């Protein structure tokens, strides 16, 4: 990048702030979501108040939900023929690619059986352990020693890489979605 004409600086270490992304406009994802939302509302869906990326269409006999994340759309419905209709509608308005039945989404595995749908984060958890060098660790029944005392003025050496620690904590927070037994260990006050 080059400095704009007429901008002079005595310090060569300054950089320019990027106002556009490399692959299009900075607001492109918002514009896409806005266009998709208006199409779904026109098709008879209503936007959920609790989550703006969730669209619901309900009749006396049918229920359909669409969840949007970035450029991915998950469709859940109790009638396969109606799903095909919505897919055709979306394909006519946007170019879409059907990836088939949902198996893995945002770190959550989806398994179907005759009894229902099961959500699991086993692969995500094993990826977290492997990325942090704990893949050979043995499981324990209690996540933290009951006699452990944590203090603010501990003489232990500080972490040299605080970014990886913060990333690990964020990933553990996300893991508590399907593993509430981990919530206390991850979110326990010091």
Each residue's pLDDT tens digit, 128-155: 989 888 888 887 776 667 777 777 777 7
| Residues above pLDDT 90, as percent of the chain | 4
Mean pLDDT of 113-139: 87
CB 58 within 8 A of CB 64: yes
Average pLDDT over residues 60-89: 84
Domains and CATH numbers, the chain: 28-100 (3.30.310), 119-187 (no CATH)
pTM to 2 decimal places: 0.61
Q: What does the block give as tokens for 168?
A: 């690990």
């Amino acid at each position: 990048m080059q400095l704009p004409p007429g901008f002079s600086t005595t310090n060569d270490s300054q950089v320019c702030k990027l106002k556009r992304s490399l692959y299009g406009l900075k607001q492109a994802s918002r514009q896409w979501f806005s266009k998709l939302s208006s199409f779904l509302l026109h098709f008879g869906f209503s936007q959920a108040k609790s989550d703006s990326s969730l669209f619901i269409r309900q009749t006396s006999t049918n229920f359909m939900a669409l969840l949007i994340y970035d450029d991915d759309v998950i469709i859940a419905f109790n009638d396969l023929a109606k799903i095909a209709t919505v897919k055709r509608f979306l394909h006519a308005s946007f170019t879409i690619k059907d990836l088939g039945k949902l198996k893995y989404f945002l770190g959550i595995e989806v398994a179907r059986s005759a009894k229902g749908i099961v959500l699991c984060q086993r692969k995500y958890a094993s990826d977290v352990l492997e990325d942090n060098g704990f893949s050979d660790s043995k499981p324990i029944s209690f996540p933290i020693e009951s006699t452990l005392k944590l203090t603010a003025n501990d003489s232990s050496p500080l972490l040299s890489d605080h970014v990886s620690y913060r990333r690990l904590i964020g990933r553990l927070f996300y893991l508590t979605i399907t593993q509430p037994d981990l919530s206390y260990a991850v979110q326990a006050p010091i």
